[in-house]
Amino acid sequence: MTEKLTYRLFYLTGILTLIVSIFAEKLIIFFKPSVIISLCILYLIKAKRKNYLVIFTMLLIMVLEILTSKDFIRYFRILNILLSVYYILNIILLWKSLKKIKVQFKKIFTVQLIITMLLIMYVLFSVADLILPQVYDHKFYLFVLIACFTSFIGLCYYIYLNSKTIISSSLMVAASCFLIVNIVTALDNLYVSLEVFVLIINLLQISGQFFLIKFFIEQQNLVPVNDDYF
């Protein structure tokens, strides 16, 4: 399969998934996996240095999507565990970029990164407080997930702030998409359900996965920045 054909497959499956999410939400379980598969094919075709852990994480997401579509509340504990594993595996995959950029104490505690992470943590814990009455028995797994996700987001933004290529912007977009998706998914299933939430979740989930795969394809071209942030 050629690269051009793979992109067409991704666009087709993505558009069909969004249409189904609007008009036949219950059928989305049959369409969403095709988007993930098309992204796996895209990675295998375009990546010069393939890491099959990337494919594993994508297949893990596919399982998560299926379980979420079937019964979010029933599988809440399993979803939290699998999603925590997903973010841990992505942190491992991002370690290559972190080694290239190098961790520096003065660059961790920058104004931009501290403010960003404080705001993200405030939003995440505010949402957790809203949904906690519905999932109180699973609170341990929820907070483990928040810790893993916050670490993933922090790492993404650290890489973005300390690299000077456009490649890292894909990682920032992916992380931002996942942040919104996780918040809206929790609210939609455990607090207040709105039809528009389904479209937002699927649009940003597809976009986030695309940009994350795009980053992993181009990861070896990442270049660290030398300028210090205030």
Q: What is the pLDDT of residue 226?
A: 65
Q: Which residue has the higher pLDDT, 29 or 112?
A: 29
Q: The dihedral of CA 40, 157, 98, 65: what is its sign?
A: negative
pTM of the model: 0.90
Tens digits of residue pLDDT in 74-131: 999 999 999 999 999 999 999 888 877 776 656 666 777 788 888 999 999 999 999 9
Q: What is the mean pLDDT of residues 208-217?
A: 94
Model confidence at 229, pLDDT cuts 50, 70, 90, reads: very low
The Cα–Cα gap between 226 and 162 comes to 8
Domain positions in the chain are: 3-221
Tens digits of residue pLDDT in 130-150: 999 999 999 999 999 999 999
Among 128, 121, 123, 127, residue whose Cα is nearest residue 143: 128
Least confident of 8-17, 25-34, 84-93: 25-34
The Cα–Cα gap between 43 and 57 comes to 12
Asked if 17 contacts 28 with a C-beta cutoff of 8 angstroms, the reply is yes
Residue 230 has pLDDT above 60, yes or no: no
The Cα–Cα gap between 203 and 60 comes to 19
Q: What is the pLDDT of residue 223?
A: 78
Share of the chain above pLDDT 70, in %: 93
Residue 227 has pLDDT above 60, yes or no: no
Asked if 174 contacts 152 with a C-beta cutoff of 8 angstroms, the reply is no
